[in-house]
Amino acid sequence: MVLIGVDTGGTFTDFVYREGDEWKVLKLPSTPQNPADAVLRGLSLIGGSGRRIVHGTTVATNTLLERKGSLTALVTNRGFEDVIEIGRQTRDRLYDLRYRREEPLVPRDLRFGIRGRVNYRGEILEDIDLQEVRELAERLAKIGVESVAVSLLHSYANPEHERRVGEILRSKGIHVYLSHEILPEFREFERTSTTVANAYVSPKMERYISYIEENLPKGDTFRVMQSNGGTVSPSVVRRQAVRTVLSGPAGGVIGARYVAEKAGFSKIITFDMGGTSTDVSLVDGKPTITTEAKIGGIPIKVPMVEVHTIGAGGGSIAYVDAGGVLRVGPRSAGADPGPVCYGKGDDITVTDANLFLGRIIPEFFLGGDMRIFPERVGPYMERLAKDLGSDAVEVADAILKVVNSNMERALRKVSVERGYDPRDFTLVSFGGAGGLHAVFLARSLGIPKVLIPKHPGILSAIGMVIADVVKDYSQTVMVGEEDPERLKAMFKPILERALEDMVEEGLKEEEVSFELILDMRYRGQSYEIMVPFSEEYVEAFHREHERLYGYRHETEIEVVNLRVRAVGRAEKPELQTFEVRSGEDPKEAFLGYREVFFDGKPLSSKVYDRDRLRWGNRIEGPAVVVEYSSTTVLPPGSVAEVDRFGNLVVEVN
What residue type is 12 in one-letter code? Answer: F
Rounded to the nearest 10 degrees, the angle between the axes of helix 130-142 and helix 160-170 is: 40
CA distance 553 to 545: 9
Ranges of the chain whose pLDDT falls below 70: none
pLDDT given at position 292: 86
Coil, strand or helix at 260: helix
Give the gyration radius of the chain's Cα atoms: 26
pLDDT given at position 536: 94
pLDDT given at position 18: 84
pLDDT given at position 489: 95
Pairing of the two strands 117-118 and 124-126: antiparallel
CA distance 394 to 379: 15
Phi first, then psi, for residue 109 (nearest 5°) are -75, -5
CA distance 481 to 559: 7
The residues, any chain, with a CB within 8 Å of residue 347's CB and separated by 6 or more, are: 317, 318, 319, 333, 339, 340, 380
Coil, strand or helix at 169: helix
Q: Say if residues 7 and 465 touch (Cβ distance below 8 Å).
A: no
pLDDT given at position 570: 82
Burial classification of residue 138, based on how many CB atoms lie within 10 Å of its CB (0-12 exposed, 13-18 middle, 19 or more buried): exposed
List residues bridging with 124 in a β-sheet.
118
pTM of the complete model: 0.89
Pairing of the two strands 12-19 and 3-8: antiparallel
pLDDT given at position 488: 95
118 Ramachandran zone, left/alpha/beta (phi>0; psi -120 to 50) = beta
**Among candidates 483, 463, 439, 472, which has minimal Cα distance to 575?**
463
